[in-house]
């Protein structure tokens, strides 16, 4: 999975395309970008892998690409656990540059204001 991602964060359009290809992929956190590309995807969740793990992925400037920063068994997954871990990782990586949330109900997320 990680090998197929570009060496940069994803645009909203790219993330939506990934989700359409595989419903197990869910964009999570975004950064408001330039007018021509107002949302950039920096974290994603990958559910229902063969190992029955939930994998949280993030784009790390310091690592120079996408990394898996958390993984746990699906039966231990909760919304709170996921949100807490994503928030913690984003804060560690990017400080206050982020507005967290997701883009639309269609992609399984909520609007960022």
**Under 8 Å between Cβ of 91 and 100:** no
* Predicted pLDDT of residue 2: 79
Greatest Cα pair distance in the chain = 40
Residue 105 has pLDDT above 50, yes or no: no
pLDDT at 92 > cutoff 70? yes
Instruction: State the pTM of this model.
Output: 0.77
Average confidence score pLDDT of the chain: 78
Residue 4 has pLDDT above 90, yes or no: no
Higher pLDDT, 48 or 109: 48
More confident residue, 13 or 67: 67
Give, as one character, the DSSP assignment of residue 17: H
Q: Does pLDDT of 70 surpass 70?
A: yes
For the segment 102-111, the average pLDDT, to the nearest whole number, is 43
Contacts of 86-95 spanning 24+ positions with Cβ under 8 A: 86/28, 86/29, 86/43, 86/56, 86/58, 89/43, 89/56, 89/58, 90/29, 90/42, 90/43, 90/58, 93/58, 93/60, 93/61, 93/62, 94/31, 94/42, 94/61
């Amino acid at each position: 999975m990680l090998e197929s991602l570009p060496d940069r964060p994803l645009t909203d359009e790219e993330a939506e395309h990934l989700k359409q290809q595989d419903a197990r992929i869910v964009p999570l956190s975004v950064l408001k970008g330039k007018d021509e590309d107002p949302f950039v995807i920096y974290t994603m969740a990958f559910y229902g892998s063969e190992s029955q793990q939930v994998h949280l992925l993030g784009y790390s400037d310091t690592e120079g690409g996408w990394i898996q920063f958390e993984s746990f068994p699906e039966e231990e997954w909760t919304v709170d656990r996921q949100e807490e871990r994503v928030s913690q990782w984003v804060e560690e990586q990017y400080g206050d540059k982020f507005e967290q949330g997701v883009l639309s109900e269609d992609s399984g997320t909520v609007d960022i204001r």
